[in-house]
């Protein structure tokens, strides 16, 4: 299977990419650092393609997608690249920080879909998974910007599910609570008591591989 994953530099994106490669699947991933792209390409070998692209940049995403698709069709597209705000009441969040979340977490997802979905539709198969969050279905104080973007991902994905022809599928996914840099931003040292990304990926990747048309438009959560 050929898998595209955004945001493979760290956290869940990196853990998923490691696990997909371990299981023998070909991956294409995005990062924003050229040296890191070279490092990951060497780590994952010939079945990987690591592109230097900021998902906020529609033109850069278009070039990356063309490169990935020139090597073959994509079976699974996973939008996992995201950022979170420094915890603060909404009125204390700076405009630039709010803009960064919206551009990465919402526009970035739309940009990637814009340039990969047509090829999947033309081929007549494929699954698009957009990472949401528990905070895309509920709320907490001090993360209003993040909640807003993940609620948006839920709505965007459910609408996309109505637009995709069968047998394609779009699924909003809550990955669960995992000890990542993003969780540490909110939970501090308490984040270390949660599951590690590599352990999570051993459950998440088989779950992702089983998603299909029957899951189209159904909010999902990686099972424990």
> What's the pLDDT tens digit per position in 29-49?
999 999 999 999 999 999 999
What pLDDT is recorded for position 56? 98
Catalytic annotation present for 194: no
Q: What is the DSSP annotation of the chain?
A: -EEEEE--SSHHHHHHHHHHHHTT-EEEEEES-HHHHHHHHHHHGGGEEEEE--TT-HHHHHHHHHHHHHT---SEEEE-----PPS--GGGS-HHHHHHHHIIIIIHHHHHHHHHHHHHHHHT--EEEEE--GGGTS--TT-HHHHHHHHHHHHHHHHHHHHSPTT-EEEEEE---B--HHHHHHHGGGGGGSBPHHHHHHHHHHHHHH--GGGTT--EE---
Tokens representing residue 99 in the block = 């803009």
Q: Could you tell me the pLDDT band of residue 222, with boundaries at 50, 70 and 90?
A: very high
Count the residues in the chain: 224
Confidence of residue 103 (pLDDT cuts 50, 70, 90): very high
Check pLDDT > 90 for residue 99: yes
When pLDDT is cut at 50, 70 and 90, the band that residue 183 belongs to is confident
The predicted pLDDT at position 224 comes to 86
CATH code assigned at 134: 3.40.50.720
Choosing from 116, 146, 151, 200, the catalytic residue is 146
Mean pLDDT of 148-154: 98
Instruction: Quote the number of domains for the chain.
Output: 1
Sheet holding 26-31, edge to edge: 48-52, 26-31, 2-6, 76-79, 127-131, 169-174, 220-221
For residue 172, the model assigns a pLDDT of 98
List, for residues 58-79, the tens digit of each pLDDT value: 999 999 999 999 999 999 999 9
Going by pLDDT thresholds of 50, 70 and 90, the confidence category of residue 199 is very high
Q: Could you give the CA distance from residue 42 to residue 49 in angstroms, rounded to a whole number?
A: 10
Quick one: pLDDT at residue 143?
Answer: 97
pLDDT of res. 24: 97
- As a whole-number percent, the residues of the chain with pLDDT over 70 amount to 100
Average pLDDT, the chain: 97
- How far apart, in Å, are the Cα atoms of 193 and each of 90, 187, 203? 27, 10, 18
115-126: pLDDT as tens digits: 999 999 999 999
Integer angstrom CA distances of residue 12 from 96, 115, 180: 25, 23, 7
* pLDDT recorded at residue 139: 97
- What is the span of the domain harbouring residue 11? 2-221
């Amino acid at each position: 299977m050929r898998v595209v994953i955004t945001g493979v530099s760290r956290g869940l994106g990196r853990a998923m990419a490691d696990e997909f490669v371990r299981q023998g699947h070909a991956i294409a991933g995005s990062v924003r650092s050229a040296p890191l792209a070279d490092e990951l390409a060497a780590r994952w070998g010939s079945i990987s393609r690591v592109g230097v692209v900021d998902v906020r940049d529609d033109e850069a995403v278009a070039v990356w997608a063309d490169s990935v698709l020139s090597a073959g069709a994509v079976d699974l597209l996973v939008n996992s690249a995201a950022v979170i705000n420094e915890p603060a009441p909404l009125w204390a969040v700076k405009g630039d920080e709010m803009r960064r979340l919206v551009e990465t977490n919402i526009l970035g997802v739309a940009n990637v879909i814009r340039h990969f979905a047509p090829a999947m539709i033309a081929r007549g198969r494929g699954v698009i998974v957009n990472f949401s969050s528990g905070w895309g279905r509920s709320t907490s104080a001090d993360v209003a910007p993040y909640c807003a973007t993940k609620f948006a991902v839920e709505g965007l994905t459910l609408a996309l599910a109505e637009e995709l022809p069968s047998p394609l599928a779009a699924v909003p996914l809550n990955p669960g609570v995992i000890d990542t840099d993003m969780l540490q931003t909110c939970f501090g040292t308490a984040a270390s008591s949660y599951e590690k990304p590599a352990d999570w990926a051993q459950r998440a990747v088989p779950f992702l591989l089983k998603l299909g048309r029957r899951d189209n438009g159904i909010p999902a959560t990686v099972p424990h």
